[in-house]
Each structure stands twice: as structure tokens, then as C-alpha cells.
């Protein structure tokens, strides 16, 4: 965020269903009527400790920075609407421990502003790199941080929602179970499982863990940025993430707002799903790139960013992520004595595996 630039919002682009504004969204939000928005779907600048190019805010100042936005969100949201916020965690500078800023944000939104936590989601990105390298690959004292929190909030405990919109195919083991029958029995937890679980509903209800690689590499958006010498947005979310919530929480014709729009992935998904939408972004460079998303529908909608066949570990495993059970390599694992100082002294001999 550059304080010297003029951040008064101006209309940057318009489609049949949506509008993009360039400028400070805090200003723009003032022009949105009370109780008029069905969904705020957004990924704000994360409170990363190292200042990043797209205007991250220092973790400690994050709550103060967010308060006026929270006020505006509360005012514009309909009583039965939802506010979904994708937010990554961050490390405390110089030490291998985590900031609490995203949990504090959640608590602030609920306790200070009266939002309800409809449900917390976790977006697992299997393609995340093992960072920060110092703690993860050099000293080997932390594991890969590959999960973003997605807080689904609402003003009433009863926001409009249907999980029928986001059903998933059955896993192979569930299909097997349905074929061979399920014997009603008690689970180790003591929970009684009746035979109603053997009914074939043709699809399963998804969990609150969204497994989604962020591996866009040759999309129309990226090609357009390359060809036009535009810097692609460095922190884009994959279209499937907002699409999950837009499908589950809104109907066609509803009004969706993304106040931290970046490259306008939210707008692109809304356009496809025929929701009315408004995106606002403070960086003109990012919006120049976003135009790619609204140029040629044919090209955009056959694009890999809206394709659900993701590759995992080099093989296409029909859209299922398989996570190894933690114990698989425990026999024969490195049993070298743990460093008494918790890794404070850097062991330069330490190597990968």
C-alpha cells in the first residue's frame, strides 16, 4: 500500500454482472448500502512478518488495521449473509514460533463485532514449499506449513447455506462399502453407526478440509500477464476455493463483494456462476492483469485455473488426495538424540533425510 498514491476508488472495468474498482476499498465500502450484500468472499493481505510486495500489514498492527473494515463489512452484510475470509498464518521474526494474529482476528470479529463462526475451514495446499527454510529444511525443527485458515462468519447463527451444492464423489473405499454392504456396529469412539450409512446418496458431504493444490502455471491469466509485461499477482487463490463458498452460500443473482480482490479471481467465478459482484483493489498493476479474466469467455472457461483435474505427486489420481498415514516410515526413522537447545544452535552438518 503506497500512502502517496491517490486511493479514491474509480471504476476500472465493468461486465454484465460485475464491477471492478481501483482504489482503497475502505472508501468504496462507504458507497455500498446497508444490508445489501449476500457474501463477502475475500483473502486480505496476510499479516506476514516480512513485508511483501502486495501490501502486507505487520502482524501486531493487524487488528487495528482490520477494525474499520470489520465495521463496514458488518454494515453492508445482509442478516442471513456470510463473510468468508481466507487467511494464512505467519512466523514471529527470528524465532521458530507462530504469530497468533489470524486467531486473534477471528476472536475479535466474533467477540468485538458480534459475528458468529458458522464454521472454520482449513485449506490444505499440497503444493506448498517447505518454508521457512531455516526452521523446516535447515534446522529441521518444524514441519511444512501447508494450511490456510478459512473463517466462515455470519451475522446470524443461521446464514443461508446448502451443502448439497458442494457434494463430492464417493471415495473408492466408500464405493466398495456400498457395494459389499455395511455392518452396523459401534465405532472405537463408542458411537453407534446405524445401517443408514450404507444408503447410496450418489455423493458425499465434504469435510471442512479443502484439499486444493495452488499450481496454476499456464493459465490464460498467466499467459496474458506474460504477453503484456504485467506482473502476475503473487498471492492468488485457486478459483475452486471461492467457488466452493459462492456455490454453497449464494444463489444466482445474489450480490458478492471482494474488497481485497487482487487479480479478481472472485469476480471471475461470480461471472461464471451468474452472481452479481463487486471487486475492489488498490494496485492498478494487479487489476491490469485481472482484465484477462473478463476478455474472452471461451478461452477463460476452458482454462486450467477452472479445471478440476489436479495432478498430485506427478500422477493424476482422479481428484483424490491421498495423505500418507504418519506411521508409515516410523520404523528405522532417525533416532539421533534431540538437541537439548531445541535447534537454537545451527547444526551446519544437518542434511535432508
Catalytic machinery residues: 43-44, 86
Q: What is the dihedral of CA 152, 156, 160, 163, to 10 degrees?
A: 50
- 48 contact partners, CB below 8 Å, separation of at least 6: 56, 59, 88, 90
- 119 contact partners, CB below 8 Å, separation of at least 6: 152, 208
Among 161, 219, 283, 305, binds ligand SAM (CB under 6 A): 283
Q: What is the dihedral of CA 342, 346, 351, 353, to 10 degrees?
A: 10
Is 43 one of the binding residues for ligand SAM (CB under 6 A)? yes
- CA dist 194 and 212 (Å) reads 32
Q: Which of residues 136-175 bind ligand SAM (CB under 6 A)?
A: none
Q: How far is the CB of 1 from ligand SAM (least distance, A)?
A: 5
Is 288 one of the binding residues for ligand SAM (CB under 6 A)? no
Candidates 264, 262, 272, 259; CA nearest to 292 is 264
Q: Contact region for ligand SAM (CB under 6 A) — 39-47, 121-129, 296-304, 331-339? A: 39-47
Please count the other Cβ atoms lying within 10 Å of the Cβ belonging to residue 236.
22
Q: How far is the CB of 289 from ligand SAM (least distance, A)?
A: 9
Q: How far is the CB of 116 from ligand SAM (least distance, A)?
A: 24
Reply yes or no: is the peptide bond before residue 186 cis, omega within 30 of 0: no
Is 55 one of the binding residues for ligand SAM (CB under 6 A)? yes
Is 38 one of the binding residues for ligand SAM (CB under 6 A)? no
Among 237, 245, 294, 310, binds ligand SAM (CB under 6 A): 237
- CA dist 317 and 126 (Å) reads 14
Three cell numbers, residue 217? 502455471
Pairing mode, strands 192-193 and 255-258: unpaired
Is 221 one of the binding residues for ligand SAM (CB under 6 A)? no
Residue closest to ligand SAM, measured at CB: 262
- Cβ contact 86:237 at 8 Å: yes
Is 260 one of the binding residues for ligand SAM (CB under 6 A)? yes
Is 244 one of the binding residues for ligand SAM (CB under 6 A)? no
Is 47 one of the binding residues for ligand SAM (CB under 6 A)? no
Is 13 one of the binding residues for ligand SAM (CB under 6 A)? no
Is 73 one of the binding residues for ligand SAM (CB under 6 A)? no
Residue nearer to ligand SAM on the CB measure, 69 or 182: 69
- 273 contact partners, CB below 8 Å, separation of at least 6: 243, 246, 247, 252
β-bridge partners, 280: 21
Q: Contact region for ligand SAM (CB under 6 A) — 93-101, 200-208, 255-263, 314-322? A: 255-263
Looking from the CA of 128 toward its CB, the CA atoms found within 13 Å total: 20
Q: Contact region for ligand SAM (CB under 6 A) — 38-46, 93-101, 108-116, 148-156? A: 38-46
Q: How far is the CB of 3 from ligand SAM (least distance, A)?
A: 11
Three cell numbers, residue 147? 494450511
Among 101, 152, 220, 286, binds ligand SAM (CB under 6 A): 286
Q: In the complex, which residues of this chain contact ligand SAM (CB under 6 A)?
A: 1, 24-26, 43-45, 54-55, 233, 235-237, 260, 262-263, 265, 280-283, 286
Amino acid at each position: 500500500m503506497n500512502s502517496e498514491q491517490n486511493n479514491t476508488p474509480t471504476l476500472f472495468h465493468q461486465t454484465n454482472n460485475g464491477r471492478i474498482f481501483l482504489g482503497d476499498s475502505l472508501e468504496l465500502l462507504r458507497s455500498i448500502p446497508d444490508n445489501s450484500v449476500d457474501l463477502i468472499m475475500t483473502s486480505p493481505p496476510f499479516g506476514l512478518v516480512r513485508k511483501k510486495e502486495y501490501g502486507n500489514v505487520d502482524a501486531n498492527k493487524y487488528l487495528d488495521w482490520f477494525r474499520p473494515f470489520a465495521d463496514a463489512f458488518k454494515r453492508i452484510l445482509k442478516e442471513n449473509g456470510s463473510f468468508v475470509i481466507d487467511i494464512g498464518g505467519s512466523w514471529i521474526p527470528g524465532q521458530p514460533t507462530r504469530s497468533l494474529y489470524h486467531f486473534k482476528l477471528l476472536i475479535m470479529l466474533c467477540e468485538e463485532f458480534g459475528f458468529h463462526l458458522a464454521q472454520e475451514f482449513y485449506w490444505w495446499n499440497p503444493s506448498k514449499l517447505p518454508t521457512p527454510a531455516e526452521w523446516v529444511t535447515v534446522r529441521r525443527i518444524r514441519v511444512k506449513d501447508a494450511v490456510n485458515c478459512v473463517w466462515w462468519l455470519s451475522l446470524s447463527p443461521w446464514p443461508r447455506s446448502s451443502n448439497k451444492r458442494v457434494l463430492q464423489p464417493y471415495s473408492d473405499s466408500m464405493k466398495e462399502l456400498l457395494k459389499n454392504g455395511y455392518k452396523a456396529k459401534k465405532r472405537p469412539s463408542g458411537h453407534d453407526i446405524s445401517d443408514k450409512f450404507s444408503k447410496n446418496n450418489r455423493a458425499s458431504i465434504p469435510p471442512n478440509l479443502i484439499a486444493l493444490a495452488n499450481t496454476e502455471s499456464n493459465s490464460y491469466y498467466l499467459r496474458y500477464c506474460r504477453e503484456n509485461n504485467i506482473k502476475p499477482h503473487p498471492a492468488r487463490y485457486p478459483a475452486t476455493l471461492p467457488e466452493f463458498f459462492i456455490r454453497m452460500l449464494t444463489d444466482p443473482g445474489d450480490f458478492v463483494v471482494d474488497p481485497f480482490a487482487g487479480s479478481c479471481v472472485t469476480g471471475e467465478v461470480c461471472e461464471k456462476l451468474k452472481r452479481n459482484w463487486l471487486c475492489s483493489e488498490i494496485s492498478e498493476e494487479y487489476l491490469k492483469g485481472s482484465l484477462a479474466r473478463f476478455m474472452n469467455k471461451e478461452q477463460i472457461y476452458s482454462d486450467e485455473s477452472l479445471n478440476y483435474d489436479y495432478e498430485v505427486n506427478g500422477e493424476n489420481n482422479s481428484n483424490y488426495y491421498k495423505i500418507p498415514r504418519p506411521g508409515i516410515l516410523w520404523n528405522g526413522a532417525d533416532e539421533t538424540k534431540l538437541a537439548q537447545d531445541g535447534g537454537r544452535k545451527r547444526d551446519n552438518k544437518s542434511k535432508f533425510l
